[in-house]
Chains A and B, each alone.
Chain A
Amino acid sequence: MKKIAFKVNGVARSYSGNPDMPLLWYLRDELHLTGTKFGCGKGLCGACTVHLDGEAVRSCITSMKSVAGKKIVTIEGLSAKGDHPLQKAWKELSVPQCGYCQSGQLMQGAALLKEKPKPTDQEIDDAMQGNICRCGTYERIREGIKQAAGVKS
């Protein structure tokens, strides 16, 4: 089978399995990067969000063949020391509850801040609408993004 080459968190990787396999399962089952979560498998919940060339994508509906030549960043690679401004804000504001959705929330939030460093409340809500948190931490997610962005509440 043809080899697919790409990078995950800065490390060059290649894959020669079924090209239709979603990236999510490659990350979780083959690289054991289990920070990227499964929540729905259909692009409905955002738990599996990673960055593909800097953009937030749902890894559960991103096939391996579509990542050829791309740079993938997962929650494990978001920052070297767990000190991305969002990760800091998340801890300062105690955003997580069960924490399961939070990898996806952080990756989605980080992509938003890259595109819009000073987002409005509405821009935050629009960007985060695809990320479900069943524990209901939305208010603190919004606050966390604003704190990381340095925008006043």
Chain B
Amino acid sequence: MSYVLRISRRGFLKTAFSAGALILCARVFPGKALDALAAEEWYPGVYLGIEPDGTVIIVAHRSEMGTGIRTALPMVAADELDADWARVRVVQAIGDPKYGDQNTDGSKSIRDFYAPLRQAGATARLMLERAAAATWGVPAAECRARNHQVVHAGGRTVGFGELVVRAAKQPIPGKDELRFKTPADFRYIGKGVPIVDFDDICTGKGIYGIDARMPGMVYASIERSPVLGGRLTSYDDKEARKVKGVLRTVTIEAAQPPYGFQALGGIAVIATSSWAALRGRQKLKVAWEPGANAGYESESFRTTLLETVRRPQKVVRSIGDVDAVFARGGTIREAEYYVPHLAHATMEPPAAVAEYKNGKVTAWAATQNPQAVQDAVAKAVGIAKQDVICHVTLLGGGFGRKSKPDYVVEAALLSKKVGKPVHVTWSREDDIRHDYYHTVSAMYLKAATDAQGRPTAWLQRCAFPPIPSTFDDSVRYGGDGELAQGWVDVPFDIPNLRAENGPAQSHVRVGWLRSVANIYHAFAVQSFIDELAAAAGRDRIEYFLDVLGRPRTIDFKAEGTKYANYGKPLDQYPWETGRLRRVIEVVAEKSGWAKRKPEKGRALGFAAHRSFFSYLAVVVDVQMDEQGRISIPRVDVAVDAGRVVHPERVRAQFEGAAVFGASLALMGEITAAQGRIQQSNFDDYPVARIGEAPKETHVHIVPSDGLPTGVGEPGVPPIAPALCNALFAITGKRIRQLPINKTKLT
């Protein structure tokens, strides 16, 4: 299929379209000839064309890492065009800022591109209808596109392909002229189509970054400083160069803080095969000056973070007077929580091939963000951004790791030095030891409660090395974006509530990992509310709903809270507690919460959380045997994600998120000693396997006509607290430090 464009050195577009095609929005691609066909400027990054044979070609400009986005967005355009999906071909876009945002991160592909893709489809449809009307000499209003042809009220029909020449001459209609389908007319939206990559995936033909090949390429394996910021002081590559297939070694200069998307630096073994590169690397003798981060001990850093959150810190939200209530005494509860570093461990480690030639770079990369590749590569090799062509392969998992293009920079730098295309594959050890880790965090919570156990005052403090410090190493406090992820937006209706954030310095690269700060914030908040419910002797869900209060829209402005809301205006995407209540009611019913009888070694746990504008409630059914072995027979997830475009893929995302959440909760932990990461592969950094994963996940999509919201990430945050809440119900032990396997439960 169209993915085979991978080795083409010809112009991308010329291989995608034939000469006579109707092409909309050509501004997506570089190249003067095609700019002549450019549409109006109101298409942010959509590309749609029709071939004279009727084939509709839709460009996927977001990266496919398992969410189905490469299918779902083109499907939206196809639906609005009333195209026959069997005659649609999806072509992957290269990175280009003309396209609008391509960073496939933040659960925003459908959210931000649902409307533009519908516009693209509606525009093409109207042009085809008008072309047919002109052909027949009838009013355009009497012509309707239907299933890849235009039908006249009188019964005549003409195929899309036959209309291409005339349609291409039509003026591009204005936005106000467009007519959109009503949901009742949707052919694919809300129903779904088969994923375009499944045939390739199931036969081993899918091309990932690790599989991308360029003619004449060589393979590189890179030894990097075990401590972030360390420098290479000396090396001996004599033995390495003796390995058959090894061509040479090449040093890459050490990155300087802030590390951003720079190549980390180190020494690369260049070889004619992956194995020769790996073997050569094993034979390198390398000495490092470990540098400023050599003192990093994650165990003592945990203490530092906990001490930070025990003291008053910067106030990031304040309602009423928490101190006055605490001063009155009465029933007060406090708890501290801790979530360690995590590694992404995508099944495909970071991998890319790049060629530097004549002042230009061409790369094929498993990347979530091809424009970041352009920026970072251009900067590193000293060329202009538009001279970096980044093709996007399939990604063997992303989870945020592959939004950082450091590995593509490595390939480009090495290619410049070697004079050939260079393929860089990280070993699993490289991946685990040199990740942009999920940050480490501590949270302190304190509440005063009334006679019913309801909080009258609530105080929460967190501290974590912030992700912005990866880009500006003077930053110590959490970014607005991080604090908006389940921290300053705690939805409870409590008259006195204060949120604080303390400073922390990073000693490893930290970065986004699937749902990001929501993971630790939700863990603390959703555990603590369960603790309060338990102390009050009340049903957890009944208690949660009581504290959540009557359905309302949280008025952050009125209370004077700065709330980043995932970068979107609150009037467009408000925080509505009624929607959270609704999913809680659904999950309670579907999981049989109220009917559940107490059982030895088995219990349900509950958590509810909003992230990326989606409202989630989960119930996790947990079993523990006499030896303390934990299994998860069932997870129920109720979700309000607005209008759902591809329900089957949405279900898949929440099933996968339940596994991802269970994995980090049960066993996920990265530690450091003397600045060195102590884990290296799946033996010491275990992830959930089939036997540990939830056996069944039931996803209940609450019907909604609201704007589409995120689905890739929101399933993760509630899993860990729900799991721990269930374990408390079973054992009476409260787990406040992840992963769970750190705590002896029997």
A residues adjacent to B (C-beta < 8 A): 17-18, 21-22, 25, 28-30, 32-42, 44-45, 47, 74-76, 78, 82, 87, 90-91, 94, 96-103, 106, 124-125, 128-142
Contacts and interface: CB of A to CB of B under 8 A. Distances in A.
A45 to B, nearest CB: 6
A100 B203 contact: no
A146 to B, nearest CB: 13
B604 to A, nearest CB: 19
A45 B655 contact: no
A139 B347 contact: no
A40 B681 contact: yes
Contact of A134 (B653, B687, B696): B687
B210 interface: yes
Contact of B652 (A28, A33, A42, A94): A94
A40 B428 CA distance: 5
Contacts of A74: 204
B394 A41 contact: no
Contact of B427 (A41, A98, A132, A141): A41
Contact of A38 (B67, B425, B653, B689): B425
A99 B197 contact: yes
Nearest to B201: A99
Contacts of A124: 690
A57 to B, nearest CB: 16
Which 3 pairs across A and B sit closest by C-beta, in order of nearness? A35-B204, A136-B659, A100-B396
Contacts of B682: 40, 42, 44-45, 132
14 contacts: A29-B275, A34-B204, A34-B207, A44-B683, A76-B203, A78-B204, A82-B202, A96-B198, A97-B67, A98-B394, A99-B396, A125-B690, A129-B690, A135-B659
B69 to A, nearest CB: 11
B211 interface: yes
B210 A37 contact: yes
Most chain B CB within a 10 A radius of its CB, from A21, A30, A36, A130: A21
Nearest to A84: B202
Contacts of B244: 17-18
Nearest to B399: A134
A76 B204 contact: yes
Given A32-B213, A42-B681, A90-B202, A22 B652 contact: no
B95 interface: no
B216 to A, nearest CB: 14
Contacts of A133: 347, 659, 690
A28 B219 CA distance: 12
A75 B194 CA distance: 21
Given A25-B275, A128-B690, A137-B652, A33 B395 contact: no
B348 interface: yes
A25 B687 CA distance: 25
A25 B274 contact: yes
A99 B68 CA distance: 11
A102 B201 contact: yes
Nearest to A106: B202
Given A42-B681, A47-B347, A97 B652 contact: yes
Contact of A135 (B208, B273, B656, B694): B656
A79 to B, nearest CB: 8
Contacts of A99: 66, 197-198, 200-202, 206, 394, 396
Most chain A CB within a 10 A radius of its CB, from B66, B67, B213, B278: B66
Interface residues of chain B: helix, strand, loop or mixed (majority): loop
A141 B656 CA distance: 12
B472 interface: no
Nearest to A103: B204
B242 interface: no
Contact of B693 (A37, A87, A138): A138
A82 B203 CA distance: 6
B695 interface: yes
B601 to A, nearest CB: 19
A139 B697 contact: yes
B198 A90 contact: yes
Contacts of B201: 96, 99, 102
Nearest to B398: A98
B345 interface: yes
Interface of B: 64-68, 194-195, 197-208, 210-211, 213, 219, 244, 273-275, 278, 345-349, 394-399, 425, 427-428, 648-649, 652-653, 655-660, 663, 681-683, 687-691, 693-697
Given A35-B203, A99-B202, 8 more contacts: A29-B275, A37-B210, A38-B274, A76-B205, A100-B394, A132-B687, A135-B656, A137-B656
Contacts of B396: 37, 98-101
A40 B199 CA distance: 25
Given A39-B347, A139-B697, A96 B202 contact: yes
A41 B279 CA distance: 12
Nearest to B198: A91
Interface residues of chain A: helix, strand, loop or mixed (majority): loop
A98 B104 CA distance: 14
Contacts of B688: 136, 138
Contacts of B657: 136
A42 to B, nearest CB: 6
Contacts of A137: 652, 655-656
Nearest to B696: A139
Most chain A CB within a 10 A radius of its CB, from B195, B203, B655: B203
A132 B65 CA distance: 16
Contacts of B219: 29
Contacts of A90: 198, 202
A75 B204 contact: yes
B689 A82 contact: no
Contacts of B428: 39-42, 44-45
Contacts of A32: 213
Contacts of A45: 347, 428, 682
Nearest to A126: B691
A84 to B, nearest CB: 9
Contacts of A78: 203-204
Nearest to A33: B204
A47 B278 CA distance: 18
B691 A100 contact: no
A128 B690 CA distance: 7
Nearest to B428: A40
Contacts of B659: 133, 135-136, 138
A91 B347 contact: no
A102 B681 contact: no
Contacts of A94: 194-195, 198, 648-649, 652
A25 B688 CA distance: 27
A8 B587 CA distance: 50
B65 A98 contact: yes
Most chain A CB within a 10 A radius of its CB, from B197, B201, B346: B201
B289 to A, nearest CB: 29
Contact of B656 (A34, A42, A136): A136
Contacts of B211: 28, 34
Nearest to B345: A134
B690 A142 contact: yes
Nearest to A21: B275
A36 B208 CA distance: 11
Given A40-B682, A90-B198, A101-B347, A134 B691 contact: no
B103 to A, nearest CB: 17
Given A135-B347, A137-B652, A139-B695, A102 B690 contact: no
A29 B273 contact: yes
Contacts of B203: 35, 75-76, 78, 82, 87
